[in-house]
């Protein structure tokens, strides 16, 4: 019988399509800690949803790069490239045609809530990144299966 680590290492040479199943399995193990009602979610500000979404998105990217095993510096550089506002804005633009009306409304609320920004960023890029994070936070709390579906549509690159 193989150890859990051996089973994970066996999966390193899988094709990207098979890796998607691995990613799906990882996401399934990190579902929402606690269900809250839709009325409670609607009381949460877009800024707070973006705060949560930022953490969930980074966790997703970190899990995505977990295999094949790498040095921590390589993990860090791969993850940083994906969690940059510019990359998040690109991800939002790629997802937009697939979003439902309620999701587009959450994106709009996130965009309007994006105040202040790092000086290096174009305000539109910052708004789009915040919108993506708001959507991720919202879906994490309301429809985890839909969140998983959308995250799998992202073009995160294995390097």
Please report where in the chains the tokens 């707070």 appear, as a residue: 48
**What's the confidence (pLDDT) of residue 158?**
61
Cβ 127 vs Cβ 92: under 8 Å: no
Predicted TM-score of the model (pTM):
0.76
Residue spans of the domains in the chain: they are: 4-28+36-153
pLDDT of residue 136: 96
Q: What is the DSSP string of the chain?
A: ---HHHHHHHGGG--HHHHHHHHHHHHHTT--SS---HHHHHTS-HHHHHHHHHHHHHHHHHHHTSSS---HHHHHHHHHHHHSHHHHHHHHHHHGGG--HHHHHHHHHHHHH-----TTS-HHHHHHHHHHHHHHHHHHHH-HHHHHHHHHHS-PPP-
pLDDT at 149: 93
Which burial class, exposed, middle or buried, applies to 62 when counting CB atoms under 10 A from its CB (0-12, 13-18, 19+)?
middle
Contact 13, 152 (CB under 8 A): no
Which of the residues 10, 54, 101, 143 is marked catalytic?
A: 54
Catalytic status, residue 54: yes
Both tokens assigned to 45: 């500000």
Q: How far is it, in rounded angstroms, from Cα 139 to Cα 47?
A: 14
Options 3.20.10.10, 1.20.120.1200, 3.40.50.300, 1.10.1520.10; CATH for 4-28+36-153 is 1.10.1520.10
Residue pLDDT tens, the chain, 159 long: 554 444 444 444 433 444 444 445 555 555 555 667 888 888 899 999 999 999 999 999 888 888 777 788 888 888 888 889 999 999 999 999 999 999 999 999 999 887 776 767 788 999 999 999 999 999 999 999 999 999 989 866 665
Count Cβ atoms below 10 Å from residue 10 Cβ, excluding itself.
10
């Amino acid at each position: 019988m193989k150890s859990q680590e051996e089973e994970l290492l066996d999966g390193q040479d899988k094709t990207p399509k098979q890796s998607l199943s691995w990613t799906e399995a990882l996401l399934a193990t990190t579902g929402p800690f606690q269900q809250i009602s839709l009325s409670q979610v609607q009381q949460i500000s877009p800024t707070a949803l973006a705060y949560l979404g930022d953490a969930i998105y980074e966790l997703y990217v970190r899990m995505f790069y977990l295999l094949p095993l790498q040095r921590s510096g390589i993990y860090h550089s791969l993850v940083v490239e994906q969690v940059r506002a510019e990359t998040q804005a690109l991800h939002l633009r790629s997802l937009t045609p697939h979003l439902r009306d309620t999701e587009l409304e959450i994106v709009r609320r996130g965009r309007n809530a994006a105040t202040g920004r790092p000086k290096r960023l174009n305000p539109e890029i910052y708004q789009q990144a915040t919108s993506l994070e708001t959507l991720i936070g919202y879906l994490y709390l309301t429809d985890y299966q839909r969140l998983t579906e959308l995250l799998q549509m992202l073009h995160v690159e294995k390097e």
